[in-house]
Chain A
Amino acid sequence: MSDIQLYLLEFDKDRKEASSIAAQSAKRLESKELKLLDLIESLGEYISHDDTATRAKADDHDVIGSYAKGLLALEERGKWDEERVASVINALLDNTHALRNYKQQSERYPVLQLIDTLMAKYRNAMKSVHDSSPQFMSRLINYFEGEKDPRNLMIVFSILKVPMTEWDIGSDAQDLFEAVFNYFPITFKPPPNDPYGITTQDLKDRLRDCISSTSDFAPYSFPALLDKLDSTSMNTKRDVLQTIIACVKDYGPRTISLYSVTLWDALKFEILNSEEEDLAQEALSGLSEIARSLSQASTGALNAYLKPIAKECNEHLEDAPTKQSQAAGRILGAIASVSPEVANMILRAVLPTLFTLYQAADNFPKRRGLIEVFVQLIRADLQVYGEWRAAPAVQQAPNGDRTSSADLAANNALLKFTDQALEVLSTGLSTVPVKEVSFRLMTLDALLQLAKVRQLLAPQEIAEIIKLFHTIVITEESYGNDELKAASVNGLVEIGQQKPQLIIDHAFPAFMAQLPDSDVDGSTTYVSVLEAFAKLGSERQLFETVVLRLRNKFNVAVQQQASVRYLRAILSAILFAFAQGANNLQGTPGSCPYYNDLILPLLKQSSGARETRSSLFEDEGVLDLIGRLSNVVLRTQHLEFQKQIARETYTLFRTGPAKDLPPFGTDAPTTQGRTMIVSTHVLAALQREAKPVDDINELLTALVNFAMVDSLSPKVRAATSAQVSLVVNKFIPTAELKAVTGTVLYAPTDLLNPANLTINSIRTIFAIIKGLVLRNHTTLTTIFPSLLALLSSPEHGTTVARGFSTLLQPDDLLTKENHCTISGLRKQKAFSLLVPNISTSVRSATDASTKANYLIALSGILRWLPYTIIEPEISALSPLLLQSLDLPPEEHEVKSATLDTLITFLTQNPRAIEEHASSLITRLLATTSEKRNPAKVRAAALQCLALVPGQLRTETVLPFRKQVAKRLMASLDDGKRAVRGEAVRCRARWMGMDEVEDEEDE
Chain B
Amino acid sequence: MEANKDNANPTILNQSDLPSRRSDSGVKKRDDGGTGLFDSLVPAYTYLNDPFAQQASSSDTDDDSVEEIDEQEIYDLISTISDPEHPLSLGSLAVVSLPDIHIQPPSSPRSPISTVLVEITPTITHCSLATVIGLGVRVRLEQSLPPRFRVDVRIKQGTHSTDEAVNKQLGDKERVAAALENGTLMGVLKKMLSTCE
Give me the interface of A with B, judged by CB distance under 8 Å: 232, 269, 273-277, 319, 321-324, 326, 365, 368, 436-438, 441, 478-483, 486, 524-525, 527-528, 530-531, 534-535, 569, 572-573, 575-576, 579, 621, 624-625, 628, 714-715, 718, 759, 762-763, 799, 802-803, 805-806, 809, 812, 860, 889-893, 931-932, 934-936, 969-970, 972-973, 975-977, 980-981, 984-985, 987-988, 991-992, 995, 998
Contact = CB atoms under 8 A, between A and B. Distances in A.
A934 B63 contact: yes
Contacts of B52: 759, 762-763, 799, 802-803
A430 B14 CA distance: 20
Interface in B154-192: 183, 186, 190
A278 B114 CA distance: 44
B143 A987 contact: yes
Contact of A324 (B9, B31, B73): B9
B33 A273 contact: no
B148 A973 contact: yes
Given A860-B51, A977-B67, 20 more contacts: A276-B87, A324-B8, A438-B17, A478-B33, A528-B33, A572-B38, A576-B37, A576-B41, A718-B50, A759-B52, A893-B55, A931-B63, A969-B146, A976-B66, A980-B69, A984-B77, A984-B143, A987-B144, A988-B143, A998-B183
28 contacts: A273-B5, A277-B87, A319-B9, A321-B11, A321-B12, A322-B10, A324-B8, A365-B13, A478-B33, A524-B34, A525-B33, A572-B41, A575-B41, A621-B42, A624-B42, A628-B41, A763-B52, A805-B51, A806-B49, A890-B59, A893-B47, A893-B48, A935-B62, A972-B146, A973-B146, A975-B67, A991-B143, A995-B190
Contacts of B27: none
Given A893-B55, A935-B62, A987-B143, A481 B41 contact: no
Contacts of B87: 274-277
A441 B33 contact: no
Interface of B: 1-2, 5, 8-17, 20, 22-23, 29, 31-35, 37-38, 41-43, 45, 47-53, 55-56, 58-59, 62-63, 65-67, 69, 73, 77, 86-88, 143-148, 183, 186, 190, 193, 196-197
Nearest to A316: B9
B33 A524 contact: yes
Given A625-B42, A892-B59, A232 B1 contact: yes
Contacts of B35: 482, 486, 528, 531
Contacts of B65: 975
Contacts of A535: 37
Nearest to A934: B62
B153 to A, nearest CB: 17
B75 to A, nearest CB: 13
Given A624-B42, A628-B42, A984-B77, A527 B33 contact: yes
A322 B12 contact: yes
B14 A368 contact: yes
A323 B51 contact: no
A387 B47 CA distance: 49
Contacts, number: 168
B19 to A, nearest CB: 10
Contacts of B86: 323
A534 B29 CA distance: 21
Contacts of B2: 269, 273
A534 B37 contact: yes
B37 A326 contact: no
Nearest to B30: A527
B41 to A, nearest CB: 5
A759 B51 CA distance: 11
B172 to A, nearest CB: 23
A936 to B, nearest CB: 8
The 7 closest A-B pairs by CB, nearest first: A480-B23, A438-B14, A973-B146, A572-B38, A527-B34, A802-B51, A524-B32
A576 B56 contact: no
Contact of A528 (B34, B43, B62): B34
A806 B51 contact: yes
A323 B12 CA distance: 7
A365 B11 contact: yes
Contacts of A275: 87
B69 to A, nearest CB: 7
Contacts of A324: 8-9
* Most chain B beta carbons < 10 A, residue from A324, A438, A525: A438
